Amino acid sequence: MAALVNITLASVSNYCTIKYMNFDGSLGANFTTAFHESIVNMDDNSGWTYYNDVAVIAAIDRVNKDPSILPGIHINLKRFSDCGPWNPDAASSYSGNSGGYASAVTATEIVQQHTDVIGVIGNQYSSTTRGIGQILSNYHIPYCSTSAGSPRFSDKVKYPFIWRALLPASGYTYRLVLNTWNVRRVSIVFQGDGELGVSTARVVRKVLLEDGIDVVAMFGLKHDFDDHSIGGVSAALQRTHTRYVILSGINDFITKAVYKLGKSGLLTDEMVFMSENALHIKGDPVEVYGPDFYDVIRGYIWLPTSPNPVEEPALNVYEYINRELAHAEIPYDYFDEYYMPETYDCAMMMLLGIKKLLEENPEISPKLLGERRFQDKMNWTLFKDLNYSGVTWPDMKLDSQGDLEMPILVSRYTGNYMNRTSFALSDLGFTRFLEYNTSNPIFHNDDTIPPPDGPIISSRSYSSDTFEGEFIIALTATGALLSIASIAFFITFRHDNIAKSASIPECVACLSGCCIGYLSLLFFLNTPTTMACKARVALISTAFGVVVSCLASRSLFIAVIFSTRQVYKNSKALNITHRRFKYCNMLVVALELVLVAAWGYFSKVRVRYIETNAIFYGVCVEAAEKELSMSFMSAALFVHNIIIYVALLCSLYLQKDVGSDRSDELTTLVITSLIVPLALIIINGLDNTVSSDADFRVAICIWIGITVILFKVTAYPALTMYQEHRSKRRNQVRVRSGFITGTNANALLCSSLTNEGAQNLSVSQYRFKSLHFTLERCVDKVWLSVTTISGTRCFYGMDVDDMVVVEDSGLVSWCLVGASVGVVVRIQFEFDTNSMAKEFIGALNAALLTFSSSPKNAPGPEHVPYKFIAAEPHFKYVMSYMRSSDIVMAGAIGAGFPAAHMVWERLAPTFHPRLLPRLMMIQVPFYASVGFLFACQSSYFRFWGWKENAIEAARWENEASQRNSEKPKGWMDGTDW
């Protein structure tokens, strides 16, 4: 007879709990399969380790005795401890806290020293499996877990060689049970210092939230929690009116937790506790906890990972262990409760997988296999479908995550010792119950009707019958009408120069965005739904993208023109540049819409219901993998909006190169840049406030922010047009112009052209239609434009000294040199009074001095618009031009914002009261500084742009009078001189 080839498997378990074993490192010896009460206690860790070991031996004996399974092969078993050598306290106190030893010692020895081991059966806690499982996967050593229920090991990227002959903990079993009972609110209590508790709680929460089941609260406790900790959890559960509690952790943790919670005041007929792990305690429960233990656990729901063992195969294995191995009568309840069927099937599937590998690959010999030559072929897919009828389940197949594919059997603890009765059996996909027995008691009160998931209290929503609902409707209607009216204003006056200077396309798009923002308020009405929650975010985000991107695009266009100092010969070249910015803006808005649509499709938004003492209300939240994280699409949308806001800030900074006393662009950008973060902070604070009025206040904040921006966009052009209209009616300027072409370029002739029938034109300040009142100031030049039927002529190089006022007639004559050599134009302005003519010259004089093409003519150093006040050499004169309105504005900003925030905190606290004084100490100086800068900037414009600039007024008048007195008298008559 040919010699048998030895193939070795390893059993990794808590052998530190078994007396009299000898250890060489982590390798154990002197283990006896015979049951001895002096060595093994059926109620502690030693019993757990012993029962699983003999189940592995039973499977190996079956294969070794049946030559049809692995002919010519003998299976050996090596035992490795994952918790060190024997420890007298480990049998009662060990709870899987030796992950470091299992990874550093056990796994290393199996991989490097015991190279004959080609497969491992692990009877370990999830915490210790985590490290050793990943190391063995890295070295392609298959690992079958018999008891590690953590969802972590379903990740086949990290654990491609781990598979399980059981169902892991997951949220799908809870989802099926809770939906069957129509439960929408639960809380989770989990073991915070254990892998099984943490991973299971995370997965269960994710699955339940995706299905719309609200996880009201989650509480993490240490394995050895005290009464104070459990008292806090109990108080929180009562405060949140939780009726259904899911417990996650190892057996003795959930057993202790359910008993302590029941004794803390939660032992009522309305409470339901459940878990995927069975109740178990090391020792007698009555001695450890008290005589009422069994009454406390009555009605506890257990969602076991498998139905009852298959009757005939299970009895055969059970009897073999008692007869051939233990030589004692082990109670059958322990055979099931200690996962002996799963352990037996795990070993059998490992051996049948080896058989399959040898049969499908004839080139692989048992000897080469035993030398680890083909470990890469032994990942979890080798064991996926072995056509094996097991003890745990008749058809032992693995699903796509390497876990056993089987239904669940839901049981309840009867309160008669640790006995359980089953009442429901699911299908394989956990979508429905195939069997559900309502004839036997289920819950703590021995009833079959599920208790309500919360108290019966009134709900709170903003319907049209409430004040809040009517107010939101009024705000929406008012905002929409304002937006439509503003759009109609720009369209109606689209041919007006002032409206053109505001850039009508950007203004209309910005106002459309405001209208979209107003419409989002309608989705704050009535009880929130998932679609309403998504619509709120989608419309508000769209409004933000449209409004802010339009403002940033328009401002960047203006800033780029004047910062580059490029000369545009005609409007066509300028329009090309403007069109590029429009296209970029359209691209940004289109990307915003795409991200919003993708977010609406992929985001897991849900409605979370919060209870107070008298009412409950719904709030919109987004389900995420972690408590403080956000989904990928939410992050993408958030980053895109941040980029738009940064572009707004960049455009605000670049406005330093753009100056105009007639432009309100800077103020609009500053207010928008302040409103956005301020509104975001307030809304975020309100969302974190436990108040049924939070959504109502958020709607008001949104309306205020949008309205402020709308008025800043619309009010200035409208007010300027009104003032311009009044100015035209008050001051009519008649222009008569003509051209005299001389034969000598140096002989400039100025003659009075008073052709009969000359057209009277009303001339206002020249503006380029694509710019926002900035062209004259930003390029530091001054020219005069004359508009006639044939077109507009621009004249530069003007000298105010050549302008003469005719006393008592209100006539102003000016001789200008045109763009062409030899072209001379004499323009005569006629005013109603002589004082108005002098006022005109004074204003032009100040403008020429300030914005001359030769900066050396201006007082002080070269003038740069938007210079910091501290660097302004004429700061004291700037301050003298400050008006009472500037002081009022500074005071309103400095005191208004902190005061409004203080009032808001009194109505809806978002910060701890102790933080308010410190917050005010920061806010008051900050907003006071902002208000002061606004006031100084306003006075700064007034100082440099008004005719009342009196710093050099006296000198200007003296020099002008002296030059005028030196001119020939004939010049006033239009003759040569």
Over residues 196-218, the pLDDT tens digits come to 999 999 999 999 988 888 898 99
523 and 659 in one domain? yes
Q: Which two tokens stand for residue 404?
A: 């056993």
Stronger pLDDT, 56 or 851, i.e. the higher one: 56
671 and 784 in one domain? no
Stronger pLDDT, 523 or 609, i.e. the higher one: 523
* pLDDT exceeds 90 at position 58: yes
Residues in the chain: 977
pLDDT at residue number 779 = 35
For residue 737, what pLDDT band results from cuts at 50, 70 and 90?
very low
633 and 522 in one domain? yes
For residue 757, what pLDDT band results from cuts at 50, 70 and 90?
very low
For residue 244, the domain's CATH number is: 3.40.50.2300
pLDDT > 70: percent of the chain: 71
* pLDDT exceeds 90 at position 25: yes
pLDDT at residue number 379 = 94
Q: Which whole number is the average pLDDT over 25-30? A: 94
In this structure, are residues 4 and 74 in contact, taking their beta carbons and an 8 Å threshold? yes
pLDDT at residue number 789 = 44
pLDDT at residue number 542 = 92
73 and 140 in one domain? yes
In this structure, are residues 423 and 580 in contact, taking their beta carbons and an 8 Å threshold? no
Kindly state whether residue 967 falls inside one of the protein's structural domains: no
657 and 567 in one domain? yes
**What is the pLDDT of the chain when averaged over all its residues?**
77
Q: Which two tokens stand for residue 60?
A: 């190996």
* pLDDT exceeds 70 at position 694: yes
Locate the DSSP E strands across 821-917: 823-830
CA distance 217 to 235: 12
Q: How many domains does the chain have?
A: 5
Stronger pLDDT, 722 or 698, i.e. the higher one: 698
* pLDDT exceeds 70 at position 230: yes
* pLDDT exceeds 70 at position 961: no
For residue 869, what pLDDT band results from cuts at 50, 70 and 90?
very low
685 and 773 in one domain? no
Look at residue 328 and give its three-state secondary structure.
coil
Kindly state whether residue 968 falls inside one of the protein's structural domains: no
**pLDDT tens digits for range 515-545:** 999 999 998 888 888 888 889 889 999 999 9
674 and 559 in one domain? yes
720 and 769 in one domain? no
139 and 30 in one domain? yes
pLDDT at residue number 794 = 53
**pLDDT tens digits for range 393-419:** 888 999 989 999 988 889 999 998 888
For residue 828, what pLDDT band results from cuts at 50, 70 and 90?
low
Stronger pLDDT, 864 or 576, i.e. the higher one: 576
Q: Which whole number is the average pLDDT over 266-291? A: 87
pLDDT at residue number 864 = 39
Q: Helix/strand/coil (H, E, C) string of 257-274?
A: HHHHHHHHHHCCCCCEEE
Kindly state whether residue 396 falls inside one of the protein's structural domains: no
* pLDDT exceeds 90 at position 107: yes
Q: Which one-letter DSSP state was computed for residue 567?
A: P
Kindly state whether residue 326 falls inside one of the protein's structural domains: yes
pLDDT at residue number 333 = 77
Q: Which two tokens stand for residue 935?
A: 């006031």
**pLDDT tens digits for range 307-342:** 666 678 888 899 999 999 999 888 887 787 788 899
**pLDDT tens digits for range 789-813:** 444 455 544 444 545 555 555 555 5
pLDDT at residue number 947 = 37
* pLDDT exceeds 50 at position 749: no
Kindly state whether residue 248 falls inside one of the protein's structural domains: yes
Nearest-CA neighbor of 86 among 140, 127, 38, 46?
46
For residue 767, what pLDDT band results from cuts at 50, 70 and 90?
very low
Nearest-CA neighbor of 241 among 607, 608, 611, 609?
611
pLDDT at residue number 875 = 55
Strands 73-81 and 143-145: unpaired
**Residue 807: CA count within 13 A, CB half-sphere:** 0
Kindly state whether residue 445 falls inside one of the protein's structural domains: no
pLDDT at residue number 272 = 94
For residue 336, give its domain range: 5-167+311-383
Radius of gyration of the chain (CA): 43
SS3 of the chain: helix, strand, coil, percent, to 5: 50, 15, 35
501 and 358 in one domain? no
pLDDT > 90: percent of the chain: 32
Q: Name which of 47-61, 166-180, 605-619 the model is least confident about.
A: 605-619
Q: Which whole number is the average pLDDT over 952-966? A: 52
Kindly state whether residue 760 falls inside one of the protein's structural domains: yes
* Start-end of H helices in 448-529: 467-492, 497-501, 504-519
Backbone φ and ψ for 827, nearest 5 degrees, come out as -115, 135
621 and 509 in one domain? yes
Stronger pLDDT, 629 or 739, i.e. the higher one: 629
* pLDDT exceeds 80 at position 629: no
Question: What is the pTM assigned to this prediction?
Answer: 0.56
**pLDDT tens digits for range 149-173:** 899 999 998 999 999 988 888 889 9
- Name residues whose C-beta falls within 8 Å of residue 590's C-beta, 6 or more positions apart in sequence: none
For residue 501, the domain's CATH number is: 1.20.1070.10
**pLDDT tens digits for range 118-145:** 999 999 999 999 999 999 999 999 999 9
Q: Name which of 426-435, 544-553, 865-874, 927-936 the model is least confident about.
A: 865-874
pLDDT at residue number 754 = 34
* pLDDT exceeds 90 at position 13: yes
342 and 288 in one domain? no
Nearest-CA neighbor of 177 among 237, 232, 119, 246?
246
Q: Which whole number is the average pLDDT over 942-959? A: 48
Kindly state whether residue 451 falls inside one of the protein's structural domains: no
pLDDT at residue number 691 = 72
CA dihedral sign, ordered 769, 771, 774, 779 = negative
